[in-house]
Amino acid sequence: FTSIFCLTVMSMDRYLAVVHPIKSTKWRRPRVAKLISGTVWTFSFLVVLPVIIFSDVQEDFQTCNLNWPEPVNIWSMAFIIYTSVLGFFGPLLVICLCYLLIVVKVKSSGLRVGSTRRRRSERKVTRMVVVIVLVFVLCWLPFYTMNIINLIFILPADPVLVGLYFFMVVLSYANSCANPI
């Protein structure tokens, strides 16, 4: 979750820097960045507490899985909804909103200035914004889609589906590698 939360905070920071460059100077300082970073890590730890509390090794498969208390179905469903909202849909909404407002600001500034250089800069920012949001969605959407589908329809424990699920987990982790690029 830390990666997603950091990406969300970075989007908010970019929004402040582009849309409110003067007002945001008091917030965009190293001390505030350290405080926000610490808050993100603390919040991430709190969000994953259920995983820490309810994880258990399954001896038959030699894997670590969540071992929910009764009623297992309710706990499992609540956790999937909880992680989907906090780990994907909420951050995606914030990220998209921030970048939409950035694009609107850059376009409105470009229209006033009207320079070729400004339009080139606007296109570059727009491309960067689209790429960041697309990478985020492409890395995480399959994972959360599969989890939500599994809530609605119980998927069989087919080896192909298990392999596909593990691929989606790896793909979601790949987002952390793609962020710096």
Q: Domain locations in the chain? A: 2-178
Give pLDDT tens digits for 69-105.
Answer: 999 889 989 999 999 999 899 999 999 899 899 888 8
pTM: 0.77
Q: How far apart are CA 135 and CA 150, in angstroms?
A: 24
Q: CATH code for 2-178?
A: 1.20.1070.10
Give pLDDT tens digits for 28-78.
Answer: 899 999 999 999 999 999 999 998 999 988 777 778 888 889 998 899 899
Query: For the chain, how big is the Rg over CA atoms in Å?
Result: 20
3-17, 66-80, 167-181: range with lowest mean pLDDT:
167-181
Contact criterion met (CB below 8 Å) for 80 and 68? no
Contact criterion met (CB below 8 Å) for 12 and 98? yes
Torsion angle of the four alpha carbons 49, 50, 53, 59, in this order, in degrees rounded to the nearest 10: -130
